[in-house]
Chains A and B, each alone.
Chain A
Amino acid sequence: MRVNGGMKSLAAAIIAVAGLTACSTQEKQKPGAIRINKDPFPSTYQPYGGVPTLIRGATILDGEGGRIDNGSILIADGKVQAVGGPEIAAPAGAQVIDAGARYVTPGIIDVHSHLGNYPSPGVQALSDGNEATGPARPEVWAEHSVWPQDPGFSRALANGGVTALQILPGSANLFGGRSVTLKNVPARTVQGMKFPGAPYGLKMACGENPKRVYGSKGQMPQTRMGNIASVRQTWAKAREYDRKWDKYERAGGEIPVRDLGMDTLRGVLDGEIAIHNHCYRADEMAIMIDVAKEFGYKIASFQHGVEAYKIADLMRQNGICGALWADWYGFKMESYDAINENIAYVHNAGACAIVHSDDPNGIQRLNQEAAKAIAAGRRAGIDISEATAWTWLSANPARSLGIFNQTGSLKPGKMADVVLWNGNPFSAYTRPARVWIDGALMYDASNPKLRPVSDFELGQPGEGDVK
């Protein structure tokens, strides 16, 4: 929606500007006729049907920091209809679930997944996450790599309560390509999973990976200074491309040469595509913030941000989220200074913290990772409530992806992306009991028919098993 709407309003603005120009200069300029289709692979996702459902007697964490004990939530027509206390009544024909103090939360949103582009089984034939043939590959789109039959999607749903997720290209490249945001609902095509109206993201990477991948081939970048030089040179070209197309769209003339990668970068410069920047070290994140200022774009999130705690103030000032792990550390030099308090420190500094996975196993336990982060914070003297911590799992991820108007919290009118847990989701002993996406019951722990089984798993050992 945002992409289409943006196009229309942009076009309207261009017409208006063009009109003014014509009046003032007396020249016969008119806008270029060619418009680039910004949504050539539109979402075909359609919510599945659900019965109106009232969950009552629940401990509700609304995802924005609110908590209601003995709470009720009514979902119908795919949307959250009402959230409150025992006063919310069940409409005629509604299914009523007594939660018995079990927790109800918004579905978890993972902003960093490679399900589909690094799927299971992890064989070379399905390894589609890194177009490691050049350090700037903004022309590739993750959705063209996503294999909808990755069995990992079902695990993220049933074990993790994940209802939406962003699939990112890998981090071999400085510019890795476009991301795609999906509803975690199985489909035959990736278009059938695409989150309607979700803006695109662009994966960028700094640090060790690009310089290792290309440096080892004797190519640029071989160093961190090479990384930054390549990034800046690419943005400089993007600005030029942006100017050419702006001019064409405003005043017509010869159609500029189309460049798919530059289209993506132009989308970033125009504020339509969000930057998700893989970056570990504090000093490098600070440099990337300055690069963004130099070229006039905004960074939505630092991905991994293992040293985010060292510059949490900068992240707050610049409105950048940190998509972080609870406790990953030391697997490479740029993660050597990881601390368990990273998420709590970033949150405590007033910056936007997100718990992310980057892992087909970790995505099944993001609630547990948040629990570890709360506990580490508490031991360091930072008391963060369960309700507040859930913002790391739904509202903040949704904001960073540009889908917070539709999902990410339990507010009337939003998509009914809801998890009923069988206990306290900050406990190791708790799992999802039921998961609704757009009001449709997509997982029920007590009903084997409500477990998705990918095509890949049909006829294999363990088909349809609990996983």
Chain B
Amino acid sequence: MKRLILTASALLASAAPLQPQTVAITNGIVALGDGSDPMPGGTVVIRNGRVVAAGSGVSVPANAEVIDANGKWVTPGIVAGFSRLGLSEVDLGADGSDDTETRNSPFSAAIDVAPAINPKASTIAVSRADGVTRAVVAPVAGRSIFAGQGAVIDTADDMDAVLRARAFQFVELGEGGADRAGGSRSAAFVLFRNALREARDLGGLRYPIAGRSSAARQADEVPYEERQDPQLLSRDARRTDDVMLTRFDAAALVPVVRGRQLLIVHVERAKDILNVLDLRREFPSLRIALVGATEGWTVADRIAESGVWVIASALNDLPASFEMLAATQSNVGRMRAAGVKVAIGMIDDNDTRYVRNQRQYAGNLVALGKIPGAAGVSWAEAFAMITSKPAEAVGLGGEIGSLARGRRGDVVIWSGDPLELASAPEAVWIDGVRQPLDNHQTKLRDRYRTLERGALPEAYRH
């Protein structure tokens, strides 16, 4: 049994191995991320890339590398609830480095962000260094209300970022949808309904190709992500001439209308939220999650009743637009109090790169508990909103976001309470693999620690 003391140098030295190892992190304040309170004196064991056990009274396997957390915090990695992480290296003026928005494609719903995710993006390395290990990544809507299909990724220092491709379809149905649909919400909703009807009609054509029976069987039994891409529907599946969507776009919406692919809808205004919830009367199979929902608190009981997830902006408190007039930082707390299922995301909040701020936002939600008249959340709940809750919202609660047995081995040792501003990761594992934490920023930090003239220019300090 190797025993390592948690020091900066030990962390650096042990950052090399890239194979999952059996690791036991002992003597930590362990927060599972599932909404339970942190436990002092806890142990976390990961093996073969998965969590074996976490909590108090956990025994250390004989072959494990043992890391003494020295009373520091040990938690699952942060899950960015809604982001554009990995799609953009630089957001403005760096031609070719930004794949967030598709302005001039003939396609919409068929767009799939997976091939655009760059695992070597500096934003991924920077986020990893701050303890973000997973992210929900959505495209930005271009000319259509349908932005396309988002993915769930990890931030590991390897080339396999995508955990789940085509995890959801993303659609704009508030001001942003109105604008893209031609200028009004009315147009956005009719466009949406038309699109789903075209998908339903196309899906109704079944699979009139060889192997149809197996495809049909697949449709019921195999998880969506492992099934045949519906875009591959045969050209023999004839459509009427009276269609607006391309075949690919219509095919991409087949799993949405059938409820096999999550539909994440961006809305902010209370009435828009209710409009979206009402869509299920017409399309009963839709699996919906809301993102944004700044005015959600005003219709919290209706959202709770619907059972849909909300990936909320944590601290929106400005009437930044006419669909956010009721904005308050108490939105999340009030929705929770009403029984809404809430995670935190970063829609339109520097979402290509600042997902690390979710920790601060979660801490700020805890702070509201001390403000008379405000609605805060407990520490455990706030932390779950940036770990297990976003994972559950996109249907991956069984895979990531907590330290429950069998989850991916995404573990962070923090210098202190992860919701506090002074805290930082000291070690990060993703899928059980110890991760490097250096990046463009840390190297600049080291290069410019002193401005004294050296024997050679700064360019030689590396």
Contact = CB atoms under 8 A, between A and B. Distances in A.
Contacts of B229: none
B17 interface: no
Contact of B321 (A121, A331, A345, A365): A121
Given A339-B441, A427-B420, A361 B93 contact: no
B1 interface: no
Contacts of A465: 326, 328, 330, 373
A278 interface: no
Interface in A359-383: 360-361, 364-365, 368, 371-372, 374-375, 378-381
A467 B324 CA distance: 12
Contact of B318 (A155, A311, A337): A155
Contact of B421 (A309, A368, A461): A368
B317 A467 contact: yes
A307 to B, nearest CB: 9
Interface stretch (A25-33, A89-97, A428-436): A428-436
A461 B92 CA distance: 35
Contacts of B420: 427-429
Sort A-B residue pairs by CB-CB distance and give the 4 closest, nearest first.
A428-B363, A461-B326, A462-B326, A375-B422
A378 B354 CA distance: 22
B367 A122 contact: no
Contacts of A309: 448
Contacts of A378: 422
A342 to B, nearest CB: 9
A331 B90 contact: yes
A122 B223 CA distance: 43
Nearest to B373: A466
Nearest to A151: B319
Given A155-B317, A428-B419, 14 more contacts: A212-B93, A313-B451, A332-B91, A339-B441, A339-B442, A339-B444, A364-B315, A365-B364, A368-B360, A372-B360, A429-B363, A461-B325, A462-B326, A467-B329
18 contacts: A120-B319, A123-B322, A155-B318, A329-B353, A330-B353, A332-B90, A337-B440, A338-B441, A339-B442, A360-B320, A365-B364, A374-B422, A422-B371, A429-B419, A430-B367, A431-B368, A460-B319, A461-B326
A123 B366 contact: no
A155 B441 CA distance: 32
Interface string B418-460: 0111111000000000000000111011001101000000000
A294 interface: no
A167 interface: no
A214 interface: no
B422 A426 contact: yes
A312 interface: yes
A371 B360 CA distance: 11
Interface string A333-349: 10011111100010001
A330 B89 contact: yes
Contact of B445 (A330, A375, A380): A380
B461 to A, nearest CB: 12
Interface in B74-95: 89-94
A372 B123 CA distance: 19
Given A340-B445, A429-B370, A332 B93 contact: yes
Interface in A154-176: 155, 159
B184 interface: no
A159 B368 CA distance: 10
B113 to A, nearest CB: 19
B321 A445 contact: no
Contacts of A143: none
A331 B364 CA distance: 24
A232 interface: no
A426 B322 CA distance: 33
Contact of A461 (B93, B298, B320, B374): B298
B367 A428 contact: yes
Given A428-B367, A431-B370, A465-B328, A331 B92 contact: yes
A123 B421 CA distance: 33
B57 interface: no
Nearest to A462: B326
Contact of B91 (A151, A312, A331, A349): A331
A312 B352 CA distance: 29
B186 interface: no
Interface in B215-234: none
B123, B374, B421, B445: which has the most chain A beta carbons within 10 Å?
B421
B360 A310 contact: no
Contacts of A155: 317-318
B241 to A, nearest CB: 40
Nearest to A314: B451
Nearest to B330: A466
Contacts of A338: 441
A333 B326 contact: no
